[in-house]
Chains A and B, each alone.
Chain A
Amino acid sequence: KQEVTQIPAALSVPEGENLVLNCSFTDSAIYNLQWFRQDPGKGLTSLLLIQSSQREQTSGRLNASLDKSSGRSTLYIAASQPGDSATYLCAVIGKSSGDKLTFGTGTRLAVRP
């Protein structure tokens, strides 16, 4: 059974700092990995999707990498801003799970002004 873990569970940084969020998964047989952002009481916003054949994706200040063989992904946020404060979730679609996403435990990020 696929298990997805995110470290750290919570992170507080001053504005302007670069930061890295980590995601690990136990079964490397995946179709893709997706990073989401969730604001309190809201739904999920898709940030980046990395297909299993890719190693990274970039969107603005965000860069996500994927090392499928080691079961790891990182989300790099450059020059963090208070508006980046949210919970970040990674999720994978495994080849043995049909079309279902398996979510990580999430990282709660607070960026202090």
Chain B
Amino acid sequence: GAVVSQHPSRVICKSGTSVKIECRSLDFQATTMFWYRQFPKQSLMLMATSNEGSKATYEQGVEKDKFLINHASLTLSTLTVTSAHPEDSSFYICSAPLTGALYEQYFGPGTRLTVT
């Protein structure tokens, strides 16, 4: 099956700093990637759709100036949490779909962000 990686897997940062999370599709190209956030014991909440070569589209209630998304190539999307605060601490997961009739999505292993 298709493989999606994320880096880093865990990051601890101080309040006020920025953190970048990378999402890579290792063996396929993805013109679209998705970024999710997951709080403990809750389901995934879609934050934004990352579009290669164009601006990301954000879900309602997600601050685009706080969560910067860049999709510079067909295999890499990055999420930067700017001026992080403790309430940004969460599990961030990306996914990339295989285009075609099935449109099956493959997920990265996630990044645990802790803001102190």
Which positions in A face B, CB cutoff 8 Å? 31-32, 34, 36, 41-46, 49, 51, 89, 93, 98-101, 103-106, 108
Q: Give CA–CA (A51, B103) in the complex, Å.
A: 9
Instruction: Categorize the interface residue count of chain B.
Output: 20 to 34
Residue of B nearest to A101 (CB): B105
User: In the complex, which residues of chain B have a beta carbon less than 8 angstroms from the beta carbon of A106?
Assistant: 43
CB pair B109–A42 under 8 Å, yes or no, is yes
Task: Name the contact of B46 in the complex, choosing from A43, A44, A100 (C-beta under 8 A).
Answer: A100
* Apart from A106-B43, A108-B41, 12 more pairs, CB < 8 Å: A34-B105, A43-B108, A44-B44, A45-B107, A46-B1, A46-B107, A49-B102, A89-B44, A98-B49, A99-B49, A101-B105, A105-B43
A contact residues around B101 at 8 Å (CB): 51
Q: Which residues of the other chain, A, contact B110 by a CB distance below 8 angstroms? A: 41-43
Q: Are B44 and A51 in contact (CB under 8 A)?
A: no
Residues of B within 8 Å of A93, CB to CB, are: 103
Closest chain A residue to B104, Cβ basis:
A49
- Give the distance in Å from the alpha carbon of A31 to the alpha carbon of B32 in the complex: 17
Q: A99-B32, A100-B34, A101-B95 are in contact. Are A34 and B104 (CB under 8 A)?
A: yes
When distances are taken between beta carbons in the complex, the residues of chain A under 8 Å from B81 are: none
Tell whether, in the assembled complex, residue B105 and residue A51 are in contact, meaning their CB atoms are under 8 Å apart: no
In the assembled complex, the Cα of A41 lies from the Cα of B40 at a distance in Å of 9
Chain A residues whose CB sits within 8 angstroms of the CB of B46 once the complex forms? 100-101
Min CB distance B44 to A, Å, is 5
- 18 A-B pairs within 8 Å (CB atoms) are namely A31-B103, A32-B102, A36-B107, A42-B109, A43-B6, A43-B108, A43-B109, A44-B93, A46-B1, A46-B106, A49-B104, A51-B102, A89-B43, A93-B103, A99-B103, A100-B49, A101-B105, A103-B43
